Amino acid sequence: MAPKERTEIVDNLERSRQDFMAAVAGVTEAQAQARPDHERWSVLDCVEHVTTVEERFLGWLEAAKKLDQPRIDKEKEAGLMARIPDRSTRAKSPEAALPTGRFATLGQALEQFNLGRTRSIEFAQDRCDDLYCLASEHPRFGPMNGVEFLIIIAGHSRRHAAQILETRAALGEA
């Protein structure tokens, strides 16, 4: 992997963390629990979901088999980069990633999100030479390499940062 690609992967993860943290900036604990209606998630629900998904994806990456040859698909990468954060198409969360009230406070949830993101960044840095050789299966997107999973991790938190901003606006907090 070229040094420029390594930097881009880590920068994408870090920038998406900043976007996510900016979306929750200034939210009180009471506001974090509020839902615009019974069918929509609260800010706390969004943070829990993003944290859970990132932990699951990182677990899949850590357990991924290593291929002898890299599998590089720049078109798929570009598609994921554009598609994942796009909220114009709704996506249903799998049961295992639905919010369950795992965190009592927004502070706890954000702390766990940041720990997970730091682990993802460290994984990207430590395994940068073989990210394209990692192979795992995503239930929705099929066979994927490490770079593609890291693109989804970054895009997923951006997607929900936008959802958090929508929730705040619906509650009159934005």
* Reported confidence tier of residue 90, pLDDT bands at 50, 70, 90: confident
Residue 107 CB neighbours (<10 A): 11
Terminal Cα distance for the chain, rounded: 41
Q: In this model, does residue 23 exceed pLDDT 60? A: yes
The residue-averaged pLDDT of 158-171 equals 96
User: Taking the model in full, what pTM does it have?
Assistant: 0.94
CATH of the domain spanning 3-86+101-142+154-170: 1.20.120.450
Residues 61, 105: Cα–Cα separation, whole Å: 28
- Report whether 103 contacts 44 (CB < 8 A): yes
pLDDT at residue 173, as a whole number: 75
Whole-number pLDDT of residue 6:
78
Per-residue pLDDT, averaged over 132-160, amounts to 95
Residues 120, 123, 129, 130, Cα dihedral to 10°: -90
**Mean pLDDT, to the nearest integer, of 78-84?**
95
Q: Does residue 132 carry a pLDDT above 60?
A: yes
The mean pLDDT value for 4-30 works out to: 94
Residue 174: pLDDT over 80: no
